Amino acid sequence: MTSSAGPDTPGAGGLRRLDSDAAVSARGVYAGYHGIDAVAGVDLTIPSGELVALVGPNGAGKSTLLRLIMGLMRPRRGEIRLHGQAAAAQRRTGAVAYMPQHETLDWDFPASVRDVVFSARYPSLRRSPVRRWLPQPWVGHEHHQAVDRALRATDIAERARRHISELSGGQKKRVLLARALAQEARLLLLDEPLVGVDQNSEALIFQVLRDLRAAGQTVVLVTHDVSGVRQHADRVVLFNRSVIACGAPDELLADERLLLRTADPALARGLEAAV
């Protein structure tokens, strides 16, 4: 599994093929900032309906990879397809939801928790030329139901009318997760959603992610939480500028040579504690 699910074997003519059924298919991807590659030679296939953990040290390019998958950055070389389509096209239709590591939301903006979560529905409202101009209470029932489900799933429903400036750090994190959930996208990209949340919230978030997977959605999350990955993820991707290995958590997290190559101190510490 280690090699089969990572860099794929070359197809006919020596070219690496993109898998059009996969939720994410990346081939030969190079990208970075100011002429320096942050990711280099990424080959990765993420099948639909899996809960996948992306693990690697600080500066490994994990957030960059999520931005590329989200279509917020374009590769300098190589290609990424989501469900067989270009990443930017999938983003515009709302088929992919993203929770960034560093949120740029202005928490003093006069908006309620519900307003922020409701904003996830804008891509689907945009598809209707009439609805896009309607005030929030007048838009279709299904949009409000999606928002309610997301608020309940993240246990933030009772604070729905609160102003967002009144929330704690962990509650803000849950609002951002609720916003990503409310989009009801086929693919969710979550960049370190567990940082700064307490143990109860962490258990809740993993439960939410497992429910999404059970409903057939694909979840990719960046995390340093080894025991959570072991318990809940279908697949772990060890990443350091490119895919070091990709496979079942128990298999990969038991391979010391791979972990040394990944060189994630947090991962190594977590493993020592787990042995």
Ligand X SMILES: Nc1ncnc2c1ncn2[C@@H]1O[C@H](COP(=O)(O)OP(=O)(O)OP(=O)(O)O)[C@@H](O)[C@H]1O
Residues in touch with Mg ion (CB under 5 A): 62-63, 101
Cβ 239 to ligand X shortest distance, Å = 7
Nearer to Mg ion, 56 or 249 (CB): 56
* H helix or E strand, kind and range, residue 238: strand 235-240
Least separation, in Å, of the C-beta of 56 and ligand X? 6
Q: Which does 56 bind (CB under 5 to 8 A by kind): Mg ion, ligand X, none?
A: ligand X
Which one, 11 or 59, has the nearer CB to Mg ion?
A: 59
Report what 93 binds from ligand X, Mg ion, none; CB cut-off 5-8 Å by kind.
none
Looking at the Cβ atoms of 184 and 191, the one nearer to ligand X is 191
Tokens standing for residue 196: 């700064």
Residue 59 site contact among ligand X, Mg ion, none (CB < 5 to 8 Å, cut-off depends on kind)? ligand X
Residue closer to ligand X, measured from CB, 71 or 94: 71
Record the tokens describing residue 206, joined without a space.
């993993």
Cβ neighbors of 4 (< 8 A, separation 6 or more) are 247
Residue type, 211: D
Is the CB of residue 147 less than 8 Å from the CB of residue 121? yes
Q: At its nearest, how many Å lie between ligand X and the CB of residue 190?
A: 13
Q: Which CB sits closer to ligand X, 150 or 180?
A: 180
Q: Which residues bind ligand X (CB under 6 A)?
A: 33, 38, 56, 58-64, 101
Shortest spacing between CB 224 and ligand X, in angstroms: 8
Cβ contact 205:221 at 8 Å:
no
Which CB atom, from 64 or from 124, has the smaller least distance to Mg ion? 64
CB of 145 vs ligand X, minimal distance in Å: 34
Q: How many CB atoms lie within 10 A of CB 1?
A: 12
Cα(42)–Cα(239) distance, rounded to whole angstroms?
A: 9
Compute the least distance from the CB of residue 246 to ligand X, in Å.
16
Least distance from C-beta 32 to ligand X, angstroms? 6
Interatomic CA distance for residues 223 and 207, integer angstroms: 15
Residue 38 binds which entry of ligand X, Mg ion, none, with Cβ cut-offs from 5 to 8 Å by kind? ligand X
**Pick from 96, 81, 77: nearest CA to 20:** 81
Q: What burial class does residue 232 get, using C-beta atoms within 10 Å of its C-beta: 0-12 exposed, 13-18 middle, 19+ buried?
A: buried
61 binds, among Mg ion, ligand X, none (CB under 5 to 8 A by kind): ligand X
Of the pair 62, 81, the CB lying nearest Mg ion is at: 62
Binding at 29: pick from Mg ion, ligand X, none (beta carbon under 5-8 Å per type): none
Other beta carbons within 10 Å of 41 = 15
Question: Which residue, judged by CB position, is nearest to Mg ion in the bound state?
Answer: 63
Say if strands 51-55 and 218-222 run parallel, antiparallel, or are unpaired. Answer: parallel
Cα gap 2→258, rounded to integer Å: 10
Which does residue 236 touch among ligand X, Mg ion, none (CB within 5 to 8 A, set by kind)?
A: none
- Rounded Cα distance between 115 and 119, Å, is 6
